[in-house]
Amino acid sequence: MVTQQYKPAKFILIIFSFLFLSSCTSSRLVGSWEFIDLYDGIVTEIDTLKSKENNSKYGTGTLTFNKDNSFTSMEESGSYQRKSKTLKMKYPAVDTVVMNISYVSKDYLLLSAGKDPKTWFYRKK
């Protein structure tokens, strides 16, 4: 009898934990990201990239995602939608850019896209 009293409490705790964890993963994207480099192909691991310095031949820049689903990149603003590992970025007067989130953590972000895929490597500012 005692175990039945705790079943609803356990169920509620499990659901709360799941919602909390899913909100944490989506909030990892929010913030300012420093562009480090661009790579050919789809890169999904950051182990060898962690020590990479920001001296890319592609230049420098910051990509900022806000909680209100707006973003700023290269002095351009737009809106974004994230669904699982897909990121849709809409700039004014430009078609929506669809990026794949290859990797995201509290410190690193890998975005990939294209027919000949490229991967953009960012570090949290």
79-119 pLDDT, tens digit each: 999 999 999 999 998 889 999 999 999 999 999 998 999 99
Report residue 106 as tokens. Answer: 């509290």
State pTM to two decimals: 0.77
How far is the C-alpha of 62 from the C-alpha of 33, rounded, in Å? 5
Write the CA distances from 73 to 5, 13, 44, 77, integer angstroms. Answer: 52, 39, 22, 6
Cα dihedral: 95, 79, 61, 22 (round 10) = -120
Class of residue 97 by CB neighbours under 10 A (exposed 0-12, middle 13-18, buried 19+): middle
Type of residue numbered 72: T
- Residues 41-84 have pLDDT tens digits of 999 999 989 888 888 999 999 999 999 999 999 889 999 999 99
pLDDT of residue 26: 54
Give me the residue spans of the domains in the chain.
30-124
Q: Which of 68, 56, 70, 78 is nearest to 123 (CA)?
A: 56
Task: Report the CATH fold assignment for 30-124.
Answer: Lipocalin (2.40.128)
Report helix, strand and coil shares of the chain as percent, to nearest 5.
20, 40, 40
